[in-house]
Chain A
C-alpha cells in the first residue's frame, strides 16, 4: 500500500471541518467590519451564512441525522431571498447617492 492511498483511506476528522467553518465565519465577521464597499460587506454576510452551513453538514454527519442537511437547504433558500432584497436595496442606495462606499453613506450621524 502506497502512502498516498493510505492517506486517501483515512477520514478527515470532523473537528477540522468545524475549525474551517469557524475560520470562515470569523473571516466573514472581519470582512463585515473592515470592508468599505457595500457589495463586499454583503458578500461577507453570505460567507458567514455558508460557514454556518458547513457546520450544519458536519454535525449532521456526526449525528447521522438528515435534519442538519435539511436546515442547510432552508438557509440557502433564505439567503437567496435575502440576496434579492439586499441587492434591491443596494441599487436603491446607489440611485439615491451614486456611491457604494460605506463611509459616504453617512447622512445620519450620532
Chain B
C-alpha cells in the first residue's frame, strides 16, 4: 500500500496550467509588434506533454487524491488523452489559420490551453465543487474564444449567445448541486451514491437529478437545449469551432456518465427513459433542421446536435456496455468532427469567404486532397464502414438494444439514413465540376503549412484507426467503464488519505 503523491493525480492539468501561464507571460513581455505565432508551438508542445502525462497516469494505481476530490482511473485517462488530443489538433490548426497580424494571438493560445485545463479537470473531478469550478474554467475560456473575431458583427453575437445560455445552464446545474447537498449533506460523488438511495427527502434527490441533467444537456447541446449551437458555430472562427464542438462536449459527456452511472445508479429507471427521449429528439430535430441549411457551419452544427442524440442512445444501455459505447462514440465523434472542421477551416479560411454549400462546388477539382478529405470525413459522419463513425454508431445502437430499447436503435438507424441526405449534398457539391462563377474559383488560396497538414493527418489517422482497428480504443473504453461503475464504499471513511486499490489490468 504505497500512497501516490496527490500532485501526480492532476499532473496533466498542472502541465497545462504551467503552459498557459508561460504563454500568457511571454505574450505580455514581448514587444507589441513582434509576431506571436511561436507561442502556438509552445502551447502545442505543452499539450503534447500533458497528453503523455495522462497516458503515464495509467501506471498509477486507481484511486483518489486531494481529500477525495480528484480521481485517476482508466476512465479519466481515456478522456484526458482524448481532450488533450483534440486540443493539440485544434492548436495545430490555429497555428496556420490565424492571420499573421492577428491581434491577441498569445491570449488565444493561452485561453485554449486554460480551457483544456478545465475540461481535463472536469473528467477527473469526483467532488461537485471541483466539477463546478472545472466546468466554469472550461466555459469561460470558450466564451471568450467564441467571440475572438470581435471586429466582425457576428463574433460578439456568437459570444454573447454562448455566454448567456451557458451561464443559464450552469445556474441550473448549480441548483441541482445545492439540492443534492441538501438531500444528502455531502457533495462528494461516491458519498452521494451511497447516501442518495436512503435520503429522507426523495423528491429533493429527483429534483437535483433533473436540474443537473438540464445543465449538462445544455452543454452537450441536446434538444431541447440546443438553440445556441448553430448561431455560436456560425459566428465563431472555424478552428475554435473544431475545438468547442468536441472537447467541451467530451468533458460534458464524461460528467454526464459520472452523474448518471456513478452518482445515481439506483435511479436508472428515472434517467434512462428521459435520456432516451432526449436522444430521439436530438437526432430527429438535428437532422431535420440540418436538411434545410445552406451554410456549411450551420449544417455541421445541426449535425453535431444529431450526433449528441446518437451518443445519448448509448445511455439506454446497461452499465458497462452503455458507458463503453458512449466513451467510444465520443472519441469517434471527436475525430471526425475535428477533421471536418479542419477541412472547412482550410477551404473557407479564417475570414470565411466561402460559407455556403454551393461555394464548395468543384473543390475536388481545385484540390483533390482537400476534396477527398472532405468526402472522407462526411462518409465517417454518415457512418460508412471503415470509418470511426460506423463503429461509434454500431456500438451505441448495440448498447441501446442490449438495454432493451430496440425502438431507439431503429429510430437511430432511420435517422442515419435521413442524415446521409445532407452530408451527401455537401459531398456532391464538392465533387461537381466547377462553373466559372462559383466562389471557389474566385478566391481560393488555402494556407496549408506544416501544422495544418499535421492536424489533418492526426484527424484522418484517428478516424481510420477507430474505423478499421477499433479494438484498442474500445478496450480502453471498457476498462474505463469498469472503473467508473462501482463507487468504492470506503471513500467516506478514509477521507484525506489517498485510497489505493489494485490497478485494473
B85 in the interface (beta carbon within 8 A): no
Query: From residue 35 to 76 of chain A, which have CB atoms closer than 8 A to chain B?
Result: 38, 41-42, 45, 48-49, 51-52, 55-56, 58-59, 62-63, 65, 67-68, 70-71, 74-75
Which residues of A have CB within 8 Å of B182? 18, 55, 58-59, 62-63
The digit string for B117-154, where 1 denotes a CB below 8 A from any CB of A, is 00000000000010011001000100110010011111
Tell me which of A38, A65, A68, A110 has the highest count of chain B C-beta atoms within 10 A of its own C-beta.
A110
Our pick among A71, A82, A107 for the contact of B157 (Cβ within 8 Å) is: A107
Given A63-B185, A71-B187, A97-B156, decide whether A92 and B147 contact each other with a Cβ distance below 8 A.
Answer: yes
A27 in the interface (beta carbon within 8 A): no
Determine whether the beta carbon of B175 is less than 8 Å from that of A52: yes
B168 in the interface (beta carbon within 8 A): yes
B155 in the interface (beta carbon within 8 A): yes
* A44 → B minimal CB distance (Å): 9
Bound Cα distance A69, B48 (Å)? 38
* B122 → A minimal CB distance (Å): 14
B49 in the interface (beta carbon within 8 A): no
Chain A binding surface SS class: helix
B159 in the interface (beta carbon within 8 A): yes
Size of the chain A interface, CB-CB below 8 angstroms: 42
Given A71-B129, A108-B234, decide whether A55 and B163 contact each other with a Cβ distance below 8 A.
Answer: no
Bound Cα distance A62, B185 (Å)? 9
Query: From residue 151 to 192 of chain B, which have CB atoms closer than 8 A to chain A?
Result: 151-161, 163-164, 167-168, 171, 174-175, 177-179, 181-182, 185-187
Determine whether the beta carbon of A86 is less than 8 Å from that of B167: yes
B6 in the interface (beta carbon within 8 A): no
Bound Cα distance A15, B179 (Å)? 13
Our pick among B129, B153, B164 for the contact of A74 (Cβ within 8 Å) is: B129
Determine whether the beta carbon of B160 is less than 8 Å from that of A105: yes
* A25 → B minimal CB distance (Å): 6
Tell me which of B143, B168, B186, B298 has the highest count of chain A C-beta atoms within 10 A of its own C-beta.
B168
Size of the chain B interface, CB-CB below 8 angstroms: 41
Bound Cα distance A92, B146 (Å)? 12
Given A65-B185, A89-B147, A92-B147, decide whether A82 and B155 contact each other with a Cβ distance below 8 A.
Answer: no
Determine whether the beta carbon of A108 is less than 8 Å from that of B179: no
Determine whether the beta carbon of A55 is less than 8 Å from that of B178: yes
Report the tally of A-B residue pairs with Cβ distances under 8 A.
121
Determine whether the beta carbon of B171 is less than 8 Å from that of A89: no
Which residues of B have CB within 8 Å of A74? 129, 132-133
Which residues of B have CB within 8 Å of A63? 181-182, 185
Determine whether the beta carbon of B156 is less than 8 Å from that of A75: no
Bound Cα distance A105, B167 (Å)? 18
A101 in the interface (beta carbon within 8 A): no
Which residues of A have CB within 8 Å of B115? none
Our pick among B129, B156, B186 for the contact of A89 (Cβ within 8 Å) is: B156
12 CB < 8 A contacts A-B: A32-B168, A48-B168, A48-B175, A52-B174, A63-B181, A78-B133, A86-B163, A86-B167, A89-B143, A92-B156, A96-B150, A97-B157
**3 tightest CB-CB pairs across the interface, nearest first?**
A59-B182, A48-B171, A55-B178
Residues of B within 8 A of A (CB): 129, 132-133, 136, 140, 143-144, 147, 150-161, 163-164, 167-168, 171, 174-175, 177-179, 181-182, 185-187, 230-231, 234-235, 289, 298
Residues of A within 8 A of B (CB): 18, 25, 28, 32, 38, 41-42, 45, 48-49, 51-52, 55-56, 58-59, 62-63, 65, 67-68, 70-71, 74-75, 78, 81-82, 85-86, 88-90, 92-93, 95-97, 105, 107-108, 110
Known: A42-B164, A85-B140. 7 other contacts (CB 8 A): A49-B171, A59-B181, A70-B129, A78-B136, A82-B140, A93-B156, A110-B230
